Amino acid sequence: MDTLIASPKHISPELSPCHVRISKQLPELRALEQRIKMKIFHIPCLEDNYAYLVIDETTKEAAVVDPVEPEKIIEAAKQHGVNLTTVLTTHHHWDHAGGNEKMKEMVPGIKVYGGSLDNVKGCTHQVENGDKFSIGAHVNVLSLHTPCHTKGHISYYVTGKEGEDPAVFTGDTLFVAGCGKFFEGSAEQMYQSLCVTLGSLPQPTQVYCGHEYTVKNLLFALTVEPSNVKLQQKLAWAQNQQQAGLPTIPSTIEEELETNPFMRVDLPELQELVGFNDPIEALREIRKRKDNWRG
């Protein structure tokens, strides 16, 4: 989706076995590039936020998710040669919606989507759970109501052509190995949002969240499940990414079901670790521990 395999511009006359294999694969690689219609690019904002460009490669139309720093967004759009038509706002907090009005000034006519229950600045198109729309010709968007962090929080499930992995932009509901604070909702709502709504998406779905919190989230998750080998492995990987100045995002729904304690509360073994035999009570307890954690 956001990573293409670059084809070599030329093949040396002195072909190694590796080069021969690559040359035989070139038609397949080109076919792969032709099939990929959706690209996603990170745009780091503020201290640890991410905005994202979502591009339909066939029309060069693009949406931006949570454009808190509009000047950066406009520059990124120019670099990628795309026409910005849409803003996808996950929720009303200033570090996600605070750039919407400026985006409307800089890109006249741009559509700004936001949850109907959130007071999203600059919103022109209110959406509710199940609403669908598209970006360009091949990028389809499904709005998913994922409340708790805010009452009107929307996650956007995005699909391209058949064969491409889908993506979901989860704002501050689902983080890599974590979840948002329960500012405007309850543990019951967060359970529904994480474990039912998002947890039921196809497991290869790429998860793009609103903040780079991964290493801290994984360190906390290990206090809940210290024997989880997948967690240990992902922490080592995330620390390497952080040291290299690279993002730890996207994750996948499959990885979150393996490593995110907030999405694992249906498991009896996790419930036993936190002392509750009910998934919602287990989720409430883990959030309480995270709120008090000073790791």
The residue ranking higher by pLDDT, 4 or 206, is 206
Q: How confident is the model at residue 19, as a pLDDT? A: 38
The residue ranking higher by pLDDT, 224 or 29, is 224
The H or E element spanning position 115 is strand 111-115
Instruction: State percent of the chain over pLDDT 70.
Output: 88
Averaged pLDDT of the chain: 90
CA distance 2 to 6: 12
Q: How confident is the model at residue 125, as a pLDDT? A: 98
Bridge partners (DSSP) of residue 139 are: 135
Q: How confident is the model at residue 37, as a pLDDT? A: 84
Are the CB atoms for 248 and 235 separated by under 8 Å? no
pLDDT(127) > 70: yes
Which tokens sit at 81? 């040669």
SS3 per residue for 226-244: CCCHHHHHHHHHHHHHHHC
Are the CB atoms for 174 and 207 separated by under 8 Å? yes
DSSP 257-289: HHH-GGG-TTSHHHHHHHT-SSHHHHHHHHHHH
pLDDT in tens, 142-188: 999 999 999 999 999 999 988 899 999 999 999 999 999 999 999 99
* Non-local CB neighbours of 90 within 8 Å, separated by 6+ positions: 65, 66, 96, 153, 154, 155, 156, 169, 170, 171, 172, 173, 210
Tell me the pLDDT band of 35, cut-offs 50, 70 and 90.
Answer: low
| Residue 206: CB atoms within 10 Å | 20
Superfamily covering domain 36-292: Ribonuclease Z/Hydroxyacylglutathione hydrolase-like (3.60.15.10)
Catalytic residues, by residue number, are 91, 93, 95-96, 149, 172, 211
Bridge partners (DSSP) of residue 156 are: 143, 169
Selection from 43, 30, 22, 42 nearest residue 4 by Cα = 30
Q: How confident is the model at residue 184, as a pLDDT? A: 98
Q: Rounded to whole angstroms, what are the CA distances from 294 to 14, 78, 172, 289?
A: 58, 41, 20, 10
| Averaged pLDDT for residues 119-147 | 97
| Averaged pLDDT for residues 40-59 | 97
CA distance 44 to 191: 29
